[in-house]
Amino acid sequence: MLSVEGLARIHDAVVRLKELRRTGWLKRGVRNPESVAAHCYAVAVLSMILADLMDLDAAEAMRIALIHDLPEAFIGDLTPREKERIGDLGEREAEVIMEMAKALPDEAAEKLIDAWRKYSEGSSETARLVRDVDKLEMGLQALSYIKSGYAGAWEIYESALREIRSPELRGLLMRMAEGLA
């Protein structure tokens, strides 16, 4: 059974993500941008639907999506440029996940670590889907901000297009942008 301290530790990370605003949007002048937790929720919902359509494990997709940015609760939401300056980011993220896993019963800890590793390494079809959906959601959020008058979000939209590996998802994002340029 999960201890009170363990539950408090996990909840602390979740609260941090709920309060942590996405850095890329802040740097582009978006007032009151989405939080990391809001982003993770959107990635989870989209991953669930797409996993079902692709006959993949939707529960696994949601688990991966919900925890894919969990280390940011302690490391922060870093821009790609900031990530380049940190040579050991993957190690730091792994340390955060391992530390959080210590607060969990063994079975739950193993599931957390396994889901995060799969995402980090892109080592399963489901994890690769979630990695693409992470970028798809970023692109869709950029389109939402563009519609609200934040032209600086085009740069993030373009970044999302470059990073999505699935031609189908890239095409979907492009179709969503039609008429905005």
pLDDT number for residue 141 = 98
Question: Percentage of the chain surpassing pLDDT 90?
Answer: 86
Question: Is the pLDDT higher at 69 or at 84?
Answer: 69
Which residues touch 138 (CB under 8 Å, ≥6 apart)?
Answer: 39, 156, 159, 160
Please state the domain extents for the chain.
4-177
Average pLDDT of span 72-95: 88
Nearest to 115 by CA among 62, 75, 41: 62
pTM for this predicted structure: 0.95
CA 92, CA 107: separation in Å to the nearest integer?
Answer: 23
CATH of 4-177, one of 2.60.120.10, 1.10.3210.10, 1.10.260.40, 3.40.50.970: 1.10.3210.10
Task: Indicate the average pLDDT of the chain.
Answer: 94
pLDDT of 181 > 70? The answer is no
End-to-end alpha carbon distance in the chain: 53
